[in-house]
Amino acid sequence: MSLNRREMLRLGAYGAVGAILSTAASSSVVGSFGVSLDRNGDPLAPISAQPRAQVLAPSAPAGIDPQLFARAKAALDQHQIYARDTIGIADFSKPSSEPRFHLVDLATGQVESHRVAHGRGSDPAHSGYLERFSNDFGSYATSSGTYTTTDYYDGKYGLSMKVRGLDWSNNNAEARAIVIHNAWYAEDEMIPLHGMLGRSEGCFAMSRASQDRVMRKLAGGRMIFAEKLA
């Protein structure tokens, strides 16, 4: 079969376009999941997968459990607490021998930690660990939940601070006279002697130095969040 000059030129152009498309398709093929299928010309070479994006853990200030910090932040928003520059977080997952009452500066992320005693009804065997919470009258136990600070007053342990319970788990705090106070059994000297602090009757009992610092930082309706993670 003979072709004239015009037909030969037309067929040559179609062939050139096909060759270009074939070369482009074979040089770099990307799968539907973002994995490169380019084998550098070797059809038997393994396919190199792209690195997966790193999953970041929830951020929290140093020394505070991220889950506990997230719960405290949620409580701050839930109760619409106005004063939110500094909060207190009591981590009763830790023993009384460890600094577990954290003052958190929410603007800078700085944390200042203090020892705090729990109620004797929360630790009947005096193991140093909180075993249970209670909001009941006469339980002498620590209550979990969200608190705000209220008034200073001069009581049995000198200058102390009242707190108000905002949750069903601690709404008897004022009527039970749960407060922030200092106590001899909550001084740091108890640790080398007994390996733990003594027990309160449900109050946030601390050393005199810690109590002074905590009251100064949390006065004026600031939040305390007390909890124990399972």
**Lowest-pLDDT range of 13-27, 91-105, 170-184:** 13-27
* pLDDT of 28: 40
Residues 106 and 85 sit within 8 Å (Cβ to Cβ): yes
Q: Could you state, in order of their start, the residue ranges of all structural domains in the chain? A: 1-55, 66-227
* pLDDT of 230: 76
**Lowest-pLDDT range of 17-21, 46-50, 133-137:** 17-21
Average predicted confidence (pLDDT) for the chain: 84
- With CA atoms as reference, report the closest residue to 101 among 87, 114, 92: 114
3-state helix, strand, coil in the chain (%, to 5): 25, 20, 55
Residue given tokens 């109760």 in the structure block: 79
Percent of the chain with pLDDT over 70: 75
More confident residue, 64 or 38: 64
**Under CATH, to which class is 66-227 assigned?**
mainly beta
Q: How far apart are CA 210 and CA 91, in angstroms?
A: 16
Residues 166 and 154 sit within 8 Å (Cβ to Cβ): no
Question: 7-11, 46-50, 57-61, 160-164: which has the highest mean pLDDT?
Answer: 160-164
In angstroms, what CA-CA distances link 109 with 36, 66, 134, 147?
A: 42, 13, 31, 21
* pLDDT of 59: 81
